[in-house]
Amino acid sequence: MSDDISQNQADEADKVREYDFSNFNDMLDVFRDDLTDEQIKLWVSRYIEKLISKYELNCYRVIFLFDNLRSISESHSNKIYQAISDLKKESDILLVLQSGGGRIEPAYLISKTCKRLCKSKFVISIPRKAKSAATLISLGGHELHMGLLSELGPIDPQFSGFPASGLSNAMEKIAGMACKFPESSDMFAKYLTDNLNIRDLGYFERINESAVQYAERLLKGKKLPEPWNEATLANHLTNHYKDHGFVIDSDEAASLLGKSVVKENTKEYQFGNEIYEFFDFFSFLYKTFRNKDIRYVGSVTKGLDVEDSKQN
């Protein structure tokens, strides 16, 4: 009898359903079959491992900073470090980067750490957006793999959605208006007194200058196209563009960093693009079936995070 039970258990184990996320119905079925989040994480990591093999990217340690939910912070740098701390220069690193930006300090440390721990190349795939602090990360990459919808952006530190450079620009604008309309100078002076903290202005200016310094450090050693050098390009990326969301596409990125750095429509980009399309749809399913949001930061096996959606 006990032998019969053991055989039955073995037979049941052989019948465990497998899910192939290249199949639309299988992606739906993980929710229809009510798999746990931990079970889903396992199948997601297996699917990504298949994609890595499909694009012949096993020469890389593949990691992710794929987060449309939260700004770059120490949490991201910690997870990236955990994913590569054992590398000891034994492999090159491929980072799939999708982020609207965040704090410049952890972004700088992510880029520097990847450069330090890779064997010879720190490579970044940008399927869609790597803006602001994510652009800062990109400056440390030996290669940026981009496509027609890929974009970098100005390195524009934000404070509660307000650009660091915006405060001084606003002050200059008000001062100019006061010169143009001297009879209203008292009103403008009162407005500045009531609304401007001079300490904030100095702090914002220092943060903006820090962004330039971090960019310059990450650019060090790159052979940049004329007329750029490390200092002029760092300043250009931080202070030239007037809109935080300004699109620096692959053509402009190549003119700034060089075609030896910016590469288009490679297998690294195609891999990143397929990852983007997968997560874009999978995020929709998680939101629809479980009212949860997902992001992928760190290693292939431990990168997926699932949390309750803040909006019902």
Site of tokens 């196209």: 225
Q: 102: which DSSP letter?
A: B
Site of tokens 């919808």: 149
The number of folded domains in the chain is 1
- Residue pair 294/306 in contact by the 8 Å Cβ criterion: yes
Closest CA to 259 of 91, 108, 145: 145
Quick check: is 227 in a domain? no
Quick check: is 236 in a domain? no
- Residue pair 53/83 in contact by the 8 Å Cβ criterion: no
Convert 210-276 into a string of H (helix), E (strand) and C (coil).
Answer: HHHHHHHHHHCCCCCCCCCCHHHHHHHHHHCCCCCCCCECHHHHHHHHCCCCEEECCHHHHHHHHHH
What's residue 9's pLDDT? 46
- Residue pair 284/68 in contact by the 8 Å Cβ criterion: no
What's residue 302's pLDDT? 95
Range of the domain at 131: 18-153+247-308
- Residue pair 99/118 in contact by the 8 Å Cβ criterion: no
Q: What does each C-alpha distance from 227 to 45, 133, 187, 223, 233 come to in angstroms?
A: 44, 24, 45, 11, 9
What's residue 280's pLDDT? 96
Q: What are phi and psi of 99, to 5 degrees?
A: -160, 145
Site of tokens 């049941």: 12
What's residue 13's pLDDT? 40
CA max distance for the chain? 101
What's residue 166's pLDDT? 52
What is the per-residue pLDDT across 61-114, written as a single tens digit (0 to 9) for each? 999 999 999 999 999 999 999 999 999 899 999 999 999 999 999 999 999 999
Quick check: is 4 in a domain? no
Please tell me the distance from the alpha carbon of residue 212 to that of residue 236, in angstroms, as a whole number: 9
Please tell me the distance from the alpha carbon of residue 136 to that of residue 214, in angstroms, as a whole number: 8
Q: What does each C-alpha distance from 112 to 106, 170, 171 come to in angstroms?
A: 10, 34, 35
What's residue 191's pLDDT? 57
What's residue 312's pLDDT? 46
Domain CATH number, residue 86: 3.90.226
What's residue 233's pLDDT? 98
Quick check: is 195 in a domain? no
Please tell me the distance from the alpha carbon of residue 112 to that of residue 115, in angstroms, as a whole number: 5
- Residue pair 234/216 in contact by the 8 Å Cβ criterion: yes
Query: Do β-strands 60-67 and 292-298 pair in parallel, antiparallel, or remain unpaired?
Result: antiparallel
Closest CA to 145 of 279, 277, 253, 298: 253
What's residue 1's pLDDT? 45
Is residue 152 classed as helix, strand or coil in its secondary structure? strand
Q: Which two tokens stand for residue 303?
A: 């990168």
Quick check: is 149 in a domain? yes
Quick check: is 179 in a domain? no
DSSP secondary structure string for all residues of 67-125? ESSS-B-HHHHHHHHHHHTT-TTSSEEEEEEEE--B-HHHHHHHHHHHHHHSSS-EEEE
Q: Which residues of the chain have pLDDT under 50?
A: 1-2, 9-15, 160, 312
Distance, C-alpha 278 to centroid of its chain = 16
What's residue 88's pLDDT? 86
What's residue 204's pLDDT? 60
Quick check: is 123 in a domain? yes
Quick check: is 55 in a domain? yes
Please tell me the distance from the alpha carbon of residue 105 to that of residue 73, in angstroms, as a whole number: 8
Radius of gyration of the chain (CA): 24
